[in-house]
Amino acid sequence: MGDYISSKERRAIIKHNRREISRLEAELREVGTNAAVMRDPANIVEFDGLKTYFYTETGVVKAVDGASFDVPKGGTVGVVGESGCGKSVMSLSLMRLLQRPHGQITGGAIRLDAPSGTIDVAKTGNGGMGGIRGGVVSMIFQEPMTSLNPVLRIGDQLDEVVALHAPQLIGRGIIKGGGRDDVRRRTIESLEAVSITSPDRVYRMYPHELSGGMRQRVVISMAVACSPQLIIADEPTTALDVTIQAQILDLLRGIKDSYVGTGIMLITHDLGVVAEMADSVVVMYAGRVVERGTARDIYKSPAHPYTVGLMRSKPQPGRKERRLYSIPGRVPNPVSMPDYCYFKDRCEYAGEACSLYPDEFAIGNGHMVSCWRKGDI
């Protein structure tokens, strides 16, 4: 950033953006073209070469640029990477909550095995997402107030979510009917599910009357209220203090056990959090997936120099370090990505092969790495 852009260049960028945005928006309006088939029916979501760009006045920000990975039904996938590498944009793409019109999915697919049929979210307009958000996929944000309305009582907000999905919930036998009492009963159940000991009292409270930790509990109860197939937790503990963080992680672990069949996509920059929770791990760097595999493989035998760097920069309990290691250099500018490996300039193993962006290599049982050294580091 900080590069000078002349007004002539800026006008050209704006013109280009306008043309691209209207083309992409027009494609979305073609309804009925979003049916898809899962590559593997054991998955709830398959990201397949996803590209999500932001058309800004300084150029096209390629926030996610060809990311592929699966979330198995009932599995917990940890998505890790430094801040700015596209983790949030990827999950917002799945929810279709991108800032429009300048944020657009420009390529790839996001296949979602919804109860009403498999869809490609990348081809689904806003109108097609109503039953999906909250009902099939729900999201927990870093900052609880992103999800809560400050002027409404907790109970009313939860009731609203349950009532919105009442037909599906009745169909699945989760609530008996769509009446006020049925809805309220589900709300109270959901508050109890996140270990809120006086749910009737919290039901009548406003968000500002609760502590940060309690608010995040309420947000989690809102996320589980409709028993979704997938919960995305985007840095769910980052805004909380350390003791509360541990409680919220315990809670998520409990949800994993009691809502069997619900997949969790846990996004964090903290490898320690992922180690405790995830079955498999996806490492993102500069809008792309650089390594993925089982949590065990990633921890025992990390294959990408970036993953190794992330692990080294994590504080180790019991080890006294004068200074925490941090990977030297910085993430390339997402407006003008290099045509060689994005990590090359920061990599101690970089060689001649790295002047070409690496393919993704299979180096073991589902263990994949985008590095020419194929784990030989």
Q: Restricting to residues 330-369, name those near ligand ADP by CB under 6 A.
A: 334
In 3D space, the residue among 292, 263, 262 whose CA is nearest the CA of residue 280 turns out to be 292
Q: Is 88 in the site for Mg ion (CB under 5 A)?
A: yes
Pairing relationship of beta strands 103-114 and 76-80 according to DSSP bridges: unpaired
For Mg ion, the closer CB: 63 or 193: 63
- Residue 358 binding result from Mg ion, ligand ADP, none, given CB thresholds of 5 to 8 Å by partner type: none
In whole angstroms, how close is the CB of 362 to ligand ADP at the nearest point? 25
DSSP state of 354: G
In whole angstroms, how close is the CB of 42 to ligand ADP at the nearest point? 27
110: three-class secondary structure by DSSP:
strand
Q: Is 371 in the site for ligand ADP (CB under 6 A)?
A: no
In whole angstroms, how close is the CB of 235 to Mg ion at the nearest point? 6
- Provide the mask over 43-72, with x wherever binding to ligand ADP is found by CB under 6 A and - wherever it is not: -----------x-x----x-x---------
77-85, 171-179, 244-252, 312-320 -> range binding ligand ADP (CB under 6 A): 77-85
233: three-class secondary structure by DSSP:
strand
For ligand ADP, the closer CB: 144 or 199: 144
In whole angstroms, how close is the CB of 303 to Mg ion at the nearest point? 24
Instruction: Give whole-number Cα distances, 361 to 72, 211, 235, 342, 368, in Å.
Output: 21, 46, 29, 16, 5
85-93, 170-178, 210-218, 258-266 -> range binding ligand ADP (CB under 6 A): 85-93
Q: Is 237 in the site for Mg ion (CB under 5 A)?
A: no
16-24, 65-73, 79-87, 304-312 -> range binding ligand ADP (CB under 6 A): 79-87
In whole angstroms, how close is the CB of 370 to ligand ADP at the nearest point? 17
Enumerate the H helices of the chain as residue ranges. 7-29, 87-95, 154-164, 166-171, 180-193, 199-203, 212-224, 242-258, 271-277, 295-300, 305-312
Q: Is 88 in the site for ligand ADP (CB under 6 A)?
A: yes
In 3D space, the residue among 128, 108, 125 whose CA is nearest the CA of residue 27 turns out to be 125
Question: Which residue type does 158 have?
Answer: L
CA pair distance 215, 51, nearest whole angstrom: 33
Residue 117 sits at φ, ψ, to 5 deg, of 130, 155
For ligand ADP, the closer CB: 122 or 193: 122
Q: Restricting to residues 218-237, name those near ligand ADP by CB under 6 A.
A: none
In whole angstroms, how close is the CB of 85 to Mg ion at the nearest point? 9
CA pair distance 359, 350, nearest whole angstrom: 15
